[in-house]
Amino acid sequence: MIVELVSVGTEILLGNITNTNAVYLSEMCARLGMSLYYQTVVGDNEQRMTETVKTALGRSDVVIFTGGLGPTDDDLTKEVVADVMGMELYEDKRTRKRIEEYMKVYEKNNPGRKITKNNWKQAMVPEGAVILDNNNGTAPGLIMEKNGKIAILLPGPPNEMKPLFEEQVYPYLHKKQPDTIYSQMIKICGIGESQVAEEISDLIEHQSNPTIAPYAKTGEVHLRITAKAKNEKEAKKMMKPVIRELKSRFGKNIFTTEESKTLEQAVVELLQEQKLTLSLAESCTGGMVSSRIVSVPGASEVFREGFVTYAEKAKRKRLLVKKSTLKKETAVSAKTAKEMAKGGCFTSGTDVCVSITGYAGPEGGTKEHPVGTVFLGCCISGDVTVRECHFTGNRSRIREQAAVSALTLLRDCVLENSKKKK
C-alpha cells in the first residue's frame, strides 16, 4: 500500500515547531511495510489545503493527516477532507459526551481556564467514519474510507497523536496489509555507522524480503529487520537466519533487541543484574552521562552519585587526582582519567566509576591533544581501563559523542568483569 503524510499547521511553516509527528509516523509506516512516497506540510488555508488533499488522495492509497482538528475557526482539516471525499458532517452524541466529561476534569485541574463553546465543533464527524476516542484531548481521531481511498485524521499534539496511532491506527493498518509485516530491532554500540554499513553491505545489496534498514544515531546504529509473509510464524522463520547472521557478526556490540530500550537502560539493567553500584566522574561532559543514567526510571537502585569536577581543584578534592598528575600530564590525559575513575570509586564507595575528561572546544587543546581529544576511564573492582578518543564536530557534538562512548566503555567493562568472575 502507498501512503503519504500531510501535516497541517501554519506554526510548522513558520519554523515555530519541529514536525516530529512526521518522523514518528514515517518510521511506523516503514515498520508496517507500507511505501511512503511523500510528506507535505500545508498551512491553515482552505484553498491550499483542498489542493493538497486532492493531490494526496489522488496518488496514494492512504493519507495520514495530523493537525488542524482543534476547536478554532482556523482548524479545517476535517471539513476540507470530508468535502473532498464527499462526506457530510453530523454531531456524534457519544463524542459530545466525552468532550463534556474531558472539559469538566480540565477545568477542575486548571482553575481560571475555560474551554470555549467552540469545542462542540469537535463533536462533528463525517458520516460513516470510524471515530477514534482520544483520552488525552478533546479532538477524536477519524478514519474515513471511500472509493478505495483511506484518510486518517489525527490531532497535532504528539502526546495525543501517538497513543491514538499506536492503539487504534496501527492495528487497523496492520489488518489492511495483504501480507503480515513483522520486524525486529537490533541495536549496536561501539562500532561506527560506516563500519556497520560496510559489514552488512553484502547482506543489503540484493535484499528483497526480509530487508535490513540501518538507522544511525549518535554513537549507536540501529538495524531494523523486516519480513513480509502470510503469517507471523512464517515471517519469523524467514528472519531467523538473518538475525542469527547479524548476531554472529556484531556479537557483544548488540546491546539490545528490544524496540524501545535505550543504551542507558541496557547499562542500568546490566549493573542491576551484576549487583554493582555506580558513580560518575565527569569533566567536559559536565553531567550528561549522569543525566542519561538518571533518565532511566529506577536508576536509584544502582546509581549513587555523580561528580562534575570542572575545575582542577574539584578533581583533586573530590576525586583525589594528584596535583603532580595535573601539572605533568594536564587535566586531559590518560593518567588523569585513570585517577578520576579510581577516586570516584573511593569517594563514593561504589563498585564502578566512569570518568570523562577532554577538550570539547572551541578553545583549548594542545598540539598533542587537539580539540576533540577525550580520555575515558572505567574503574571496576580496583582495575582501571582507559580509552583515548578523537571526535569531530562542534562543542555539543563532541560532548554527545563522549557521553555515549562513556556508556559504551562502562558496558564493555562490566561485561568483561562478569566473564572474569565466572
Q: Which residues 316-345 are close enough to bind its own copies by CB under 8 A?
A: 318
Span of 16-24, 97-105, 116-124, 200-208 interacting with its own copies by CB under 8 A: 16-24
Q: How far is the CB of 290 from its own copies (least distance, A)?
A: 3
| Of the residues 8, 33, 52, 369, which one makes contact with its own copies according to CB under 8 A | 52
| Of the residues 197, 204, 216, 415, which one makes contact with its own copies according to CB under 8 A | 216
CA 133 to chain centre: 25
| Of the residues 313, 323, 327, 328, which one makes contact with its own copies according to CB under 8 A | 313
Q: How far is the CB of 420 from its own copies (least distance, A)?
A: 27
In one-letter notation, the amino acid at residue 111 is P
Helix (H, G, I), strand (E, B) or coil at 118: helix
| Of the residues 308, 320, 334, 389, which one makes contact with its own copies according to CB under 8 A | 308
Cβ closer to its own copies: 22 or 143? Answer: 22
Q: How far is the CB of 291 from its own copies (least distance, A)?
A: 4
Residue pair 337/329 in contact by the 8 Å Cβ criterion: no
Helix axes 77-85, 46-59, angle to 10 degrees: 50
Span of 115-123, 234-242, 295-303, 408-416 interacting with its own copies by CB under 8 A: 295-303
User: In the numeric block, which cell numbers belong to residue 269?
Assistant: 539493567
| Of the residues 120, 170, 310, 346, which one makes contact with its own copies according to CB under 8 A | 310
User: In the numeric block, which cell numbers belong to residue 293?
Assistant: 543514567
CA 208 to chain centre: 27
By CB under 8 A, tell whether 211 contacts its own copies.
no
Helix axes 263-274, 395-421, angle to 10 degrees: 30
| Of the residues 14, 86, 201, 260, which one makes contact with its own copies according to CB under 8 A | 14
Span of 65-73, 146-154, 393-401, 414-422 interacting with its own copies by CB under 8 A: 393-401
Cβ closer to its own copies: 151 or 331? Answer: 331
By CB under 8 A, tell whether 40 contacts its own copies.
yes
Cβ closer to its own copies: 40 or 274? Answer: 40
Residue pair 210/226 in contact by the 8 Å Cβ criterion: yes
Here's the x/- map for its own copies, 180-199, by CB under 8 A: it reads as --------------x-----
Span of 39-47, 122-130, 201-209, 250-258 interacting with its own copies by CB under 8 A: 39-47
Report phi then psi at 292, rounded to 5.
-70, -40
| Of the residues 25, 85, 181, 326, which one makes contact with its own copies according to CB under 8 A | 25
| Of the residues 78, 98, 228, 399, which one makes contact with its own copies according to CB under 8 A | 399
β pairing state of 89-91 and 124-126: antiparallel
Cβ closer to its own copies: 123 or 173? Answer: 173
State how far the Cα of 253 lies from the Cα of 250, in Å rounded to an integer: 6
Q: What DSSP line would sit under 359-407, residue for residue?
A: --SSS---SSS-TTEEEEEEEETTEEEEEEEE--SSHHHHHHHHHHHHH
Cell 569536577 sits at which residue? Answer: 309
| Binders in 113-172 for its own copies, by CB under 8 A | 113, 159
Region of residue 6 (left: phi > 0; alpha: psi -120 to 50; beta: else):
beta
By CB under 8 A, tell whether 213 contacts its own copies.
yes
| Degrees, nearest 5: CA angle 141-146-151 | 35
| Binders in 228-287 for its own copies, by CB under 8 A | 280, 282, 284-287
Helix (H, G, I), strand (E, B) or coil at 218: coil
Task: Please name the residue ranges forming H helices in 43-188.
Answer: 46-59, 77-85, 93-109, 158-164, 170-176
